[in-house]
Amino acid sequence: MKNYYWAAFIITAVVLAALFLLGLLPDLELFGHKMRRVDLLADVRPDKPDTVAAEDTVRLEEIVDKDVVIDYADTCWEGTTCITDYADSTMCGMDHFYAILDSIDLIDRPVRVAVFGDSFIEGDIFTADLREMLQDKYGGCGVGWVNITSNVANFRPTVVHRFGGWRTRSAVDSIFDSKLLGLNSSYSLPVAAEPFVELECTSRYASHVGSAEVSRLYFRADSDTVRLACSLNGGQSNAIMMRGRGFQVATVSGGIHSVKWTASGVSSPFWGVSLEGRRGIVVDNLSLRGSSGFNFLSIPQETLRQFAGKREYDLIILQYGLNVATADRKSYKGYKDNMVQVVERLKSCFPGTSILLFSVGDRMSKDEDGNLVTMPGIVNLASYQQAVAVDTGIAWWSLLDAFKSLGGISAFANAKPAMANLDYTHINFRGGKRLAEEFFEALMCGKENYDNARAASQGRVMTPPPTDEERQLMQH
């Protein structure tokens, strides 16, 4: 019998030589997709630093439209990713929010914060911990806004959410009626004789949300009379007659551990339910999976103005970008133009409200050598988002820089226990808590700067920055 072992060695050598030669080829694209470079020694080469080439990134001064940039830079605490306030004459920077915190015990309502975002904050990730820290410091209770229905009701740990008899549409669906959209960019229409929504308070994840003092139901009446029923804490259901057409808010109060709202014989669009305190602070999570942030342009401006009157917000936070970024995209001018329209609409409909734009968070992709690096398109998008803040005169916080200061999304995903998913894009509740701590520290630093500026104008003594021990106590 002939021995063919030598042939196997020859074939192996030819294959290895071919693979080494493929590694010398320049970058290739096939059907519009960049092909990953072959590198047989990738596993033994030293890791490349997680950086983006300067020639692939845009500079802020190249993409802003304003000739003069008003940049109020906080005196930043060491190690803090601080808020930058680009407020102009429209006064939509952080001053209103900081000022009303000083009056929190004097106003006859809670101070309200709305956090609008995409799947990054879905299920109350990030906002649950931010809410807890703010309520620890300034008082208040309740989970805030909850949509009529939710596809993450079983995932959200800060409220038990039950519902039935509704058909829900949102601004990211293929079919929706824009005239019916609420502030949450969605609406729920009754499809049963008695549709209901029920919320039960729970303390299984965060404190201060185990009870509430006020519950409000937001909807639009399409008839002169709308019949509702409300049951508190599993007790008897009480009838509520709402008279008049248009934007309506039904309200009940007491020591609330659960609330069930039921509608009868209506066809009106319903938007959401709130659980909150009479005073203190409340943080609303208004996430919309798949959103780029443009959904505000589909909401009728009159509806936004009515929400501004019926549910007053003192701070609006915008967190978007994950559904926009692509790996190697350099220009996001079209995105910037649309987001400028979004911010200007919010400024018009919520006059005097502080507006704060987050950058996109960290996201990783593999380079041609198979190494995980921050996606270049993410860095470019963050620059365009900062340019939106500059050109509209609002405040800005770099979520990307905060991520980087903590090691980036890769450090979150590889932590034990993990703080992010292995898609190197989405954080979990542990990661949300860590980022909420970073942002809360930025808020407190900004508030101290505001207080010191006011003290200086009045000839009073300014507050020194906190020590590391004091900062840890603030977070915990």
In order along its 476 residues, the chain shows pLDDT tens digits of 556 666 777 777 777 676 666 655 555 554 444 555 555 555 555 545 454 444 467 888 788 887 766 555 567 888 999 999 998 776 778 999 999 999 999 999 999 999 999 999 999 999 999 999 999 999 999 999 999 999 999 999 999 999 999 999 999 999 999 999 999 999 999 999 999 999 999 999 999 999 999 999 999 999 999 999 999 999 999 999 999 999 999 999 999 999 999 999 899 999 999 999 999 999 999 999 999 999 999 999 999 999 999 999 999 999 999 889 887 788 999 999 999 999 999 999 999 999 999 999 998 877 766 677 888 889 999 999 999 999 999 999 999 999 999 999 999 999 999 999 998 989 999 999 999 999 999 999 999 999 988 887 766 554 555 555 655 555 55
**In terms of DSSP H, where are the helices of 356-428?**
376-392, 399-405, 408-414
Cα dihedral 133, 119, 371, 19 in deg (nearest 10)? 160
Closest of 423, 343, 439 to residue 92, by C-alpha? 343
Long-range contacts of 231-234 (CB under 8 A, 24+ apart): 231/259, 231/260, 231/262, 232/256, 232/258, 232/259, 233/257, 233/258, 233/259, 234/258
Structure confidence at residue 77 (pLDDT):
87
Q: Name residues whose C-beta falls within 8 Å of residue 1's C-beta, 6 or more positions apart in sequence.
A: none
Domains defined along the chain, listed by start: 71-139+280-476 (3.40.50.1110), 141-278 (2.60.120.1360)
Structure confidence at residue 65 (pLDDT):
84
Structure confidence at residue 76 (pLDDT):
86
